[in-house]
């Protein structure tokens, strides 16, 4: 049979070249934005077929030959998930897109507060669970190749070349560039092609077996009933257990998560895949039993039933069909390895390599350009590492029985992610500690009950452990935990690992308290459909440029936005005014928007429109920071504006005062000139009379001269008063502080006033109160008293004018009251009596109106005050002496 | 002053009513599937058990027809839902 080897190598190489070409063309088309057809629901459904690996392609027949219909459980689980759980899948896809999730580890870590410990744990579990699975694929390719060449020695060499080719393919199309949403058009389209190839190959072999060898459907049914598989024999627990396990693994396998969630382009594709993928699975398993039965019937006893798909056509001399079957198996193996490697390397580089690299960098992520290259490098190294590990495992295990059983064991391993994943999606109470506990416990039980025992007694675990338990603890036997023996090993491992996993997850979640970030993420995950208007619908990820246009117009203004879009369209070589929503354009747009609304907000808006990504917590925090800065800025502005308006008010006040003072000054000047002119006029006219009139009598001369004298005295007094006031107002006065008694000051003032005045005024005093000692300028105080008494003398209009002087203690000092019984000053006038030159209309007095003004100035200087208090029957002036004047003397 | 209050819509229009029942059916479909695939549990699992053993050909036919029925009903429901779903959004 070695003659088939060149044909086989040629066919394989040609096939691989076609795959490379398809991937390359698809990638280019997607980059140019013509990739719409690449992302149809059919391609999505076909890409899901990486669930069917070489293990299912070849192994299903062997499985059926050994245990009848049990193989079908592997397909029934995913079928039920796709048919019945589309709503959960939709949520998973929505959450993953909203959170820009790139892997199952990323999902779990993002849900539980972006915990890298969780991501690391999931990554380690996935690597341990999946690496043997990759080895299994290498093994199946090598073995099927060996069937053709017949050379056992070539197995490892084949494995090496296959591993190398796969690594090359994954590096080329999986890690060429850093894609923000981790979608790989080339790989997806290549997988879809491979899916079609493996289906066609299996159906072709099946049809050949049924209609060419088997003699038609009816005859085939008879053969089945005549075969060793004649009756339904089934371990019930396995039937249920493996169906459930396959359903769980379908969701949790990193490679399935990659195609199901990460590579999903449009949620509506799930609608088609919901029935099309079960159809694919059914077609894949339709001919398994006939092939197994015919293999058992026709091939010599002892042939490996795992390779019936190949050996049956070969034994019938159908080399072409056999090569097709080989290509089918080759497709199954390669597509699985490519996607699994891609998924694992994403996890390894994001959660193992990058954190280590970043922590090794003392300065942290310094330049973005550098980090980008480093990430790609890390991704590439991880791809090589994962495939290398798979190859190493393949070489070391040497195709032992452990490898054949790894399919289900690996399923159990990854199924441990399910509680954390579903709990995170549907239960807000799930916490990081709960997820860590559940995953660790489930992982430990899986390692102990399933992974290690698979190497056989005495290989990884001591043989004694299987009979007597570890350290003599019988109830801890790996195949019969708690002494419950007799359960099928697979079901046993599923039961205990998932049981403890769920128990630990829920219990620890209930007793621990999540961090704020966890709670935020939890709410975003569980309530992903509650946010946003159109969230309940199915949405396509593509941001239409029209949406962007509308948004940009709102923010930038219609003309600017249109110009920006037109320029971008020209730049892309398009004729219209609307460019493609390429990342470069989005970046430009985001920068433009950022200028208007701030970087964080712009990023949130753009990412919400393109890819429907929700605003992450970081985005929100950034937005909050920006808003806080703005708030702070605006409050600063507010404070400044308040200060400004205060200053303005002060200025206005000062201006008013100045205006008032200026008016006062004008009034004062005109008053002064008026007051000076009146006596001057009479002095001038009488002195002219004295000079010019010759015939004046002595009496007349005396009279005129005395008038001139009186007016001159008046002028002098006025000038004295003015000088006095001016000195007082300018603060240039020197106070002669001296000790004395109030009574003495009053005595002196009354004597002076009475000596000058008419003497009609009766003054009443209460001397008993007047014994207060004082320290003040006694002369000035006396001047105030004289003024007040003289005023009473002059202006008191009563028939028997009486002035009552009383002294009262008051808070803040001593008050001396001067109350007369004259006509009260009108309220209007009483306000201005302390102003200069203010005289009450109609009063007969001849003063200049400066007396009270001087009184007030003096009292101000002495630290006291003088005020007018209207009385029921007269006028009352109150002189307030400060406390200091009184206290100092005591 | 009396203000007319329009009573809330109690009945959906016929098409959206049909859509909702189809979605109900889609949600129930997995239960039907689980029921169908649990059926083999009732069959005798080993020659030692009482009861007529089920022949492999019958078992194969049962499993695949149940499977196909599920797929076809799923496909029909989804295709039926598709038009109004797209039109509504």
Please tell me chain A's helix, strand, coil percentages from 3-state DSSP, rounded to the nearest 5. Answer: 70, 5, 20
In sequence order, which residues have a C-beta less than 8 Å from that of residue B14 and are 6 or more positions away? none
**Closest Cα in chain B to A240:** B38
Q: Which residues in A440-460 are b (16+ Cβ under 10 Å) and which e? A: bbbbebbbbbbbbbbeeeeee
Q: Which of B58, B72, B78 sits opposite A271 (nearest CB)?
A: B78
Give the model's pLDDT for residue A649: 93
Transcribe A148-164 into DSSP letters. Answer: HH--TTHHHHHHHHHHH
Q: What is the C-alpha separation between A427 and A91, in angstroms, rounded?
A: 13
**Closest Cα in chain B to A534:** B89
**Tokens 């006033």, residue?**
A753
Which residues of A, range 501-530, sit inside 8 Å of B by Cβ? none
Give the model's pLDDT for residue A645: 93
Instruction: Please report which confidence band the pLDDT of residue A401 belongs to, taking 50, 70 and 90 as the band edges.
Output: low
CA–CA distances in Å: residue A248 to residues A78, A242, A257, B50: 8, 10, 12, 33
The pTM of this model reads: 0.63
For residue A295, count CB atoms less than 10 angstroms from its CB and return exposed for 0-12, middle for 13-18, buried for 19 or more: buried
Q: Average pLDDT for residues A756-776, to the nearest whole number?
A: 79
Q: What is the C-alpha separation between A606 and A588, in angstroms, rounded?
A: 11
Q: Average pLDDT for residues A23-37, to the nearest whole number?
A: 74
> Nearest-CA distance from A75 to chain B in Å?
10
Question: A310: which 2 tokens?
Answer: 């190949």
Run of H or E residues at A297 = helix A288-298
Instruction: Please report which confidence band the pLDDT of residue A150 belongs to, taking 50, 70 and 90 as the band edges.
Output: low
End-to-end Cα, chain A, rounded Å: 136
On the question of pLDDT at A541 being above 50, the answer is no
Contact A70, A238 (CB under 8 A): yes
Give the model's pLDDT for residue A839: 65
Q: What is the C-alpha separation between A402 and A136, in angstroms, rounded?
A: 10
- Residue B78 with chain A: CB contacts under 8 Å: 271-272, 274-275
Q: What is the C-alpha separation between A313 and A292, in angstroms, rounded?
A: 13
Q: Which of B33, B63, B70 sits opposite A69 (nearest CB)?
A: B63
Give the model's pLDDT for residue A641: 92
Closest CA to B63 of B31, B41, B37: B37
On the question of pLDDT at A527 being above 60, the answer is yes
Give the model's pLDDT for residue A648: 93
Q: Residue A231 forms beta bridges with which residues?
A: B55
Q: What is the C-alpha separation between A235 and A619, in angstroms, rounded?
A: 53
Question: Is A799 at the interface with chain B, CB within 8 A?
Answer: no
Does residue A744 or residue A848 have the better pLDDT? A744
Q: What is the C-alpha separation between A852 and A858, in angstroms, rounded?
A: 10
Q: What is the C-alpha separation between A17 and A23, in angstroms, rounded?
A: 10
Q: Average pLDDT for residues A521-527, to the nearest whole number?
A: 76
Main-chain dihedrals φ then ψ at residue A141, nearest 5 degrees? -65, -45
What is the percent of chain A with per-residue pLDDT over 90, rounded to a whole number?
2
In sequence order, which residues have a C-beta less than 8 Å from that of residue A771 and are 6 or more positions away? A741, A742, A743
- Check B37 against A282: CB less than 8 A apart: no
Instruction: Please report which confidence band the pLDDT of residue A600 belongs to, taking 50, 70 and 90 as the band edges.
Output: low
Give the model's pLDDT for residue A554: 65
Run of H or E residues at A301 = none
> Nearest-CA distance from A276 to chain B in Å?
8
Helix pair A432-446, A417-426: axis angle to 10 deg: 160
Question: A39: which 2 tokens?
Answer: 């992302």
Q: Average pLDDT for residues A311-335, to the nearest whole number?
A: 84
How distant is the alpha carbon of residue A665 from its chain centre?
A: 67
Residues of B with CB under 8 A from a CB of A: 26-27, 29-31, 33-34, 37-38, 40-41, 43-47, 53-61, 63-64, 67-68, 70-72, 74-75, 78, 81-82, 85, 88-89
Question: Is A368 at the interface with chain B, CB within 8 A?
Answer: no
- Check A83 against B70: CB less than 8 A apart: yes
Run of H or E residues at A702 = helix A698-729
**Helix, strand or coil, per DSSP, at residue A802:** strand
Helices (H), A730-831: 742-756, 778-795, 827-830
Q: What is the C-alpha separation between A393 and A135, in angstroms, rounded?
A: 6
Q: What is the C-alpha separation between A241 and A235, in angstroms, rounded?
A: 10
On the question of pLDDT at A616 being above 60, the answer is no
Task: Please tell me what DSSP assigns to residue A528.
Answer: T
* Angle at A225 (CA atoms; ends A224, A231), nearest 5 degrees: 110
Q: Which residues in B24-43 are b (16+ Cβ under 10 Å) and which e? A: ebbeebbebbeebbeebeeb
Task: Please tell me what DSSP assigns to residue A636.
Answer: H
Largest Cα–Cα separation, chain A? 179
Instruction: Please report which confidence band the pLDDT of residue B18 belongs to, taking 50, 70 and 90 as the band edges.
Output: confident
Contact B56, A230 (CB under 8 A): yes
* Angle at A368 (CA atoms; ends A362, A374), nearest 5 degrees: 70
> Nearest-CA distance from B7 to chain A in Å?
25
Query: Comparing A175-189, A218-232, A669-683, A755-769, which segment has the lowest mean pLDDT?
Result: A175-189
Helix pair A116-149, A104-111: axis angle to 10 deg: 170
Q: What is the C-alpha separation between A185 and A25, in angstroms, rounded?
A: 10
Give the model's pLDDT for residue A357: 76
Does ipTM surpass 0.95 in this model?
no
How distant is the alpha carbon of residue A155 from its chain centre?
A: 54
What 3 state SS string does chain B have?
CCCCCCCCCCCCCHHHHHHHHHHHHHHHHHHHHHHHHHHHHHCCCCCCCCCCCCEHHHHHHHHHHHHHHHHHHHHHHHHHHHHHHHHHC
Q: Which of A72, A221, A278 sits opposite B57 (nearest CB)?
A: A221
On the question of pLDDT at A399 being above 60, the answer is no
Task: Please tell me what DSSP assigns to residue A457.
Answer: B
Q: What is the C-alpha separation between A874 and A825, in angstroms, rounded?
A: 8
Of the ranges A75-79, A154-158, A762-766, which is most confident?
A: A75-79
- Check B40 against A234: CB less than 8 A apart: yes
């Amino acid at each position: 049979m070695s003659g088939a080897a060149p044909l086989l190598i040629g066919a394989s190489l040609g096939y691989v070249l076609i795959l490379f070409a398809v991937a390359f063309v698809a990638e280019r088309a997607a980059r140019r934005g013509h990739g719409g057809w690449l992302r149809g629901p059919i391609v999505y459904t076909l890409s899901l077929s990486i669930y069917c690996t070489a293990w299912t392609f070849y192994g299903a027949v062997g499985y059926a030959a050994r245990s009848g219909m049990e193989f079908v459980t592997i397909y029934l689980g995913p079928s039920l998930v796709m048919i019945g759980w589309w709503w959960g899948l939709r949520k998973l896809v929505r959450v993953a897109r909203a959170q820009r999730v790139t892997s199952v580890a990323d999902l779990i870590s993002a849900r539980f507060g972006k915990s890298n410990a969780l991501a690391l744990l999931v990554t380690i579990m996935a690597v341990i669970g999946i690496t043997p699975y990759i080895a299994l694929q290498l093994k199946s390719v090598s073995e099927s190749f060996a069937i053709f060449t017949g050379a056992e020695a070539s197995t490892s060499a084949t494995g090496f070349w296959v591993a190398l080719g796969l690594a090359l393919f994954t590096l080329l199309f999986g890690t060429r560039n850093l894609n923000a949403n981790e979608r790989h058009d080339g790989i997806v389209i290549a997988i879809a092609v491979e899916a079609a190839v493996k289906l066609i190959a299996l159906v072709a072999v099946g049809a050949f077996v049924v209609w060419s060898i088997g003699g038609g459907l009816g005859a085939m049914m008879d053969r089945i009933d005549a075969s060793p598989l004649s009756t339904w024999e089934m371990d019930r627990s396995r039937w249920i257990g493996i169906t459930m396990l396959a359903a769980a693994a379908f969701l949790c396998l990193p490679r399935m998560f990659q195609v199901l969630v990460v590579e999903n382009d449009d949620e509506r594709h799930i609608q088609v895949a919901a029935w099309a993928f079960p159809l694919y699975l059914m077609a894949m398993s339709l001919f398994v039993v006939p092939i197994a039965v015919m293999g058992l019937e026709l091939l010599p006893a002892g042939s490996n039933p795992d390779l019936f798909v190949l050996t049956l056509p070969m034994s019938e001399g159908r080399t072409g069909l056999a090569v097709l079957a080989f290509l089918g198996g080759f497709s199954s193996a390669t597509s699985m390895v490519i996607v699994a490697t891609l998924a694992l390397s994403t996890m390894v580089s994001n959660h193992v390599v990058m954190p280590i690299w970043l922590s090794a960098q003392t300065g942290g992520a310094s330049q973005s350009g550098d980090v980008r290259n480093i990430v790609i490098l890390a991704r590439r190294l991880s791809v090589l590492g994962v495939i290398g590990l798979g190859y190493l495992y393949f070489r070391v295990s040497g195709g032992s029985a452990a490898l054949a059983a790894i399919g289900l064991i690996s399923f159990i391993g990854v199924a441990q992610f399910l509680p954390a994943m579903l709990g995170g999606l549907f239960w807000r109470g799930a916490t990081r500690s709960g997820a860590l506990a559940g995953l660790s416990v489930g992982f430990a039980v899986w390692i102990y009950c399933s992974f290690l025992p698979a190497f056989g007694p005495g290989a990884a675990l001591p043989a004694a452990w299987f009979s007597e338990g570890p350290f003599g603890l019988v109830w801890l036997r790996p195949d019969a935990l708690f002494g419950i023996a007799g359960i099928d090993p697979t079901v046993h491992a599923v039961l205990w690992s998932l049981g403890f996993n769920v128990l630990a997850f829920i219990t620890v979640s209930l007793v621990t308290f999540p961090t704020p970030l966890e709670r935020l993420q939890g709410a975003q995950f569980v309530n992903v459909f509650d946010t946003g208007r159109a969230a309940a619908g199915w949405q396509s990820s593509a941001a239409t440029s029209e949406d962007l246009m509308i948004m940009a117009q709102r923010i930038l203004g219609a003309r600017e936005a249109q110009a920006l879009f037109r320029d971008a369209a020209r730049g892309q070589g398009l004729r219209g005014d609307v460019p493609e929503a390429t990342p470069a354009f989005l970046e430009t747009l985001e920068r433009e928007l950022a200028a208007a609304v701030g970087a964080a907000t712009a990023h949130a808006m753009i990412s919400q429109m393109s890819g429907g990504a929700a605003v992450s917590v970081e985005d929100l925090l950034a937005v909050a920071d920006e808003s806080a800065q703005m708030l702070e800025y605006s409050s600063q502005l507010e404070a400044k504006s308040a200060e400004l308006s205060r200053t303005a008010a002060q200025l206005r006040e000062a201006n008013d005062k100045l205006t008032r003072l200026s008016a006062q000054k004008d009034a004062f000047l005109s008053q002064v000139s008026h007051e000076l002119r009146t006596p001057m006029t009479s002095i001038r006219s009488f002195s002219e009379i004295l000079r010019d009139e010759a015939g004046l009598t002595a009496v007349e001369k005396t009279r005129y001269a005395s008038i001139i004298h009186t007016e001159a005295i008046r002028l002098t007094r006025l000038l004295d008063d003015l000088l006095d006031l001016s000195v007082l107002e300018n603060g240039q006065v020197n106070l002669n502080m001296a000790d004395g008694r109030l009574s003495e000051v009053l005595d002196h003032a009354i004597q002076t006033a009475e000596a000058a005045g008419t003497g009609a005024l009766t003054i009443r005093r209460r001397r008993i109160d007047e014994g207060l000692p004082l320290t003040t300028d006694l002369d000035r105080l006396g001047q105030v008293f004289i003024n007040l008494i003289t005023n009473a003398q002059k202006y008191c209009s009563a028939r028997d004018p009486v002035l009552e002087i009383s002294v009262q203690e008051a808070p803040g000092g001593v008050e001396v009251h001067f109350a007369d019984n004259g006509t009260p000053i009108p309220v209007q006038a009483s306000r201005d009596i302390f102003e200069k030159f203010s005289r009450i209309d109609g009063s007969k007095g001849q003063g200049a109106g400066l007396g009270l003004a001087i009184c007030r100035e003096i009292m101000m200087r002495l630290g006291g005050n003088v005020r007018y208090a209207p009385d029921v029957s007269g006028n009352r002036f109150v002189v307030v002496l400060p406390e200091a004047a009184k206290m100092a003397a005591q | 002053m009396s203000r007319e209050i329009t009573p809330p819509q109690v009945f959906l229009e016929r098409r959206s009513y049909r859509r909702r029942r189809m979605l109900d059916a889609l949600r129930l479909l997995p239960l039907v599937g689980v029921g169908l695939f649990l059926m083999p549990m009732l069959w005798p699992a080993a020659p030692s058990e009482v009861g007529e053993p089920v022949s492999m050909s019958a078992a194969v036919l049962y499993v695949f027809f149940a499977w196909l029925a599920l797929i076809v009903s799923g496909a029909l429901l989804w295709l039926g839902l598709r038009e109004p779903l797209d039109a509504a959004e």
